[in-house]
A and B are shown apart, each in its own frame.
Chain A
Amino acid sequence: MINRWLVLTWVLLSLLVLLGAATGEWLTKVPVHEHQRANPFRDQPEAVQAGQLLYAEHCSTCHGQDAEGKKNRPSLRSSRVQKDATEGDLHWLLVNGNPRRGMPSWSRLPDPQLWQLISYLKSLPPNN
């Protein structure tokens, strides 16, 4: 009986965590000046290529080679990433991470490489 309650509690908690992760609440935390930051490498094909290599090296294990997401790791072709989030928002998320949701900070990468990565992410075709 106790085991059944434990399992039920665990399932409910997991669902809550997943729902929280899926809402993209991080977007509401981005400061205005970060939200408005422009990508210095926007529309540069070389930056997209470099970003693709960076993505393969650092991100694809969790988010999938095609950025469609894996298990509970979100797709990066979603409308939240492709439409709702500005490049500044994505830069903020990469720098700060979302440790409580399992997204590490990528501040270890130099800033130019973060912008290259964002160039690649924004070049991806969004999901239908």
Chain B
Amino acid sequence: MVALLVRVIVRVWLGPRKGAIARTIKPRKAEAKVEMQRHVCSPVSLQDSGVLRKCWRGVLCGRPFLRLLFLMVSALGSLCASQEKPYFVTYTHEMEEPGNLEIALSSVSGKPQSADRFWGSAMEFEYGATGWWTTELYLDGVSIPSDSTIFTGYRWENRFYLLPRQHWINPVIYVEFEDINGADKSLREVVGHDGDGDFAGRNAETRTEKKRELEFKLILGSNFKGWNISENIIAEKNLGGGPWEFGYAIAASRPLKLLASATKCTFCPEKFAAGVEMYGGLGDRYTLGLHNTSHYFGPAINWKSPGGMTLSFSPQFGLNDFSVPRLYRFGVSYEINQVFGHLGFLRSREGQ
């Protein structure tokens, strides 16, 4: 995959200019391809490879755009399987490893009772700032095949692990600011009286509704005999007005096998994790409770590929008439180890 990406990048870059740079790169392409295939998800990153050093000295000096692309490609060289849980809404107490960047795409599709099918998506960039602080940026969008595809806003969230050690129950504080519009259907959480009726209306109309919201979560998580059990309590406030709204999410999962294999494998049971997830609204400050709230429940499964990608899937079912009858969630994520280490490498090479 990395070799293919390199080829695409070189093609894109060399398209309009087939002069000296092309001649410099081409003899090295085959060599680079073999070397990079050897390094996919290898613990040795590309920064240690002689090929990259040659490329760097001979080709990339003084070309910021290509340097940036190469940074991305070299980062891909150290992709490694993250320990993702198969949840889509529920957060665990586990933090991103310091210095790692996880890039994920999470999609949800549903057919509300009184509206057309929608596809909500969120692109996620999660960075482990320290061992106790993880920060994350989401870019949301929605697509309704019979209507339009639009960008619906962004979210910036921060999670703080409060205790110095692990305990039976581990609390994490979650703070999020979101600036989205009414067309957003990424369904990252359900709060208040969110329900089936919120999905009606055309994008052009619903996008005019601005939602600048603060969201707080108390995340509680436990790991016990291979099981992960997580509970989230959610409180959300629209800064433009409206009462505090509340919600919940709970989930449990376990790898299909706890022991790791002694040989490399692709579809062995420990690469899969399965579990269940449930979430819903709890009303607002004035109407706290389950009346006119939506709730979803469903199984969830994920698979870690040897290439470092995690694929997740969960069919979820609305538990009452106020909910969308069925939701299908898909996710794909990559974790890039020590992302700024690669940047440091580029800087140090520059100095030579």
Question: Is B262 in contact with A61, judged by CB distance below 8 angstroms?
Answer: no
Interface SS of chain B: loop
- B259 contact from A58, A105, A116, Cβ within 8 A: A116
Q: Which of A7-15, A80-88, A91-99 faces chain B?
A: A91-99
Question: Is A107 in contact with B223, judged by CB distance below 8 angstroms?
Answer: yes
Question: Is A107 in contact with B263, judged by CB distance below 8 angstroms?
Answer: no
B131 at the A interface (CB under 8 A)? yes
Question: Is B259 in contact with A113, judged by CB distance below 8 angstroms?
Answer: yes
A108 at the B interface (CB under 8 A)? yes
Chain A min CB distance to B280 (Å): 26
| Complex interface: chain B residues within 8 A of A100 (CB) | 131-132, 164
B44 at the A interface (CB under 8 A)? yes
Whether A53 touches B78, Cβ cut-off 8 Å, given contacts A104-B98, A107-B223, is no
Chain B min CB distance to A33 (Å): 14
Q: Considering the complex, which residues of chain B in the window 16-45 have a beta carbon less than 8 Å from any beta carbon of chain A?
A: 42-45
| Complex interface: chain B residues within 8 A of A43 (CB) | none
A95's closest neighbor in chain B, by CB? Answer: B166
Question: Is B43 in contact with A61, judged by CB distance below 8 angstroms?
Answer: yes
Question: Is B131 in contact with A65, judged by CB distance below 8 angstroms?
Answer: no
| Complex interface: chain A residues within 8 A of B131 (CB) | 97-105
Question: Is A99 in contact with B130, judged by CB distance below 8 angstroms?
Answer: yes
| Complex interface: chain A residues within 8 A of B130 (CB) | 99, 102
Question: Is B43 in contact with A99, judged by CB distance below 8 angstroms?
Answer: no
A25 at the B interface (CB under 8 A)? no
| Complex interface: chain A residues within 8 A of B97 (CB) | 104
The proximity string for B residues 316-352 relative to A, scoring 1 for CB distances below 8 Å and 0 otherwise, is 0000000000000000000001100100000000000
Question: Is B260 in contact with A53, judged by CB distance below 8 angstroms?
Answer: yes
A54 at the B interface (CB under 8 A)? yes
| Complex interface: chain A residues within 8 A of B99 (CB) | 62
A38 at the B interface (CB under 8 A)? no
What separation, in Å, do the CA atoms of A56 and B81 have in the docked complex? 11
What separation, in Å, do the CA atoms of A107 and B230 have in the docked complex? 14
Q: Considering the complex, which residues of chain B in the window 57-96 have a beta carbon less than 8 Å from any beta carbon of chain A?
A: 78, 80-81, 83, 92, 94-95
What separation, in Å, do the CA atoms of A58 and B264 have in the docked complex? 14
B226 at the A interface (CB under 8 A)? yes
Question: Is A110 in contact with B226, judged by CB distance below 8 angstroms?
Answer: yes
B261 at the A interface (CB under 8 A)? yes
Whether A110 touches B255, Cβ cut-off 8 Å, given contacts A58-B80, A96-B165, is yes
Whether A57 touches B81, Cβ cut-off 8 Å, given contacts A102-B130, A108-B223, is yes
Question: Is B43 in contact with A60, judged by CB distance below 8 angstroms?
Answer: yes
A22 at the B interface (CB under 8 A)? no
Q: Considering the complex, which residues of chain A in the window 38-85 have a beta carbon less than 8 Å from any beta carbon of chain B?
A: 46-47, 49-51, 53-58, 60-62, 65
B119 at the A interface (CB under 8 A)? no
The proximity string for B residues 251-272 relative to A, scoring 1 for CB distances below 8 Å and 0 otherwise, is 0000100111111100000100
| Complex interface: chain A residues within 8 A of B171 (CB) | none
What separation, in Å, do the CA atoms of A112 and B263 have in the docked complex? 16
What separation, in Å, do the CA atoms of A97 and B337 have in the docked complex? 18
Whether A110 touches B258, Cβ cut-off 8 Å, given contacts A53-B264, A100-B131, is yes
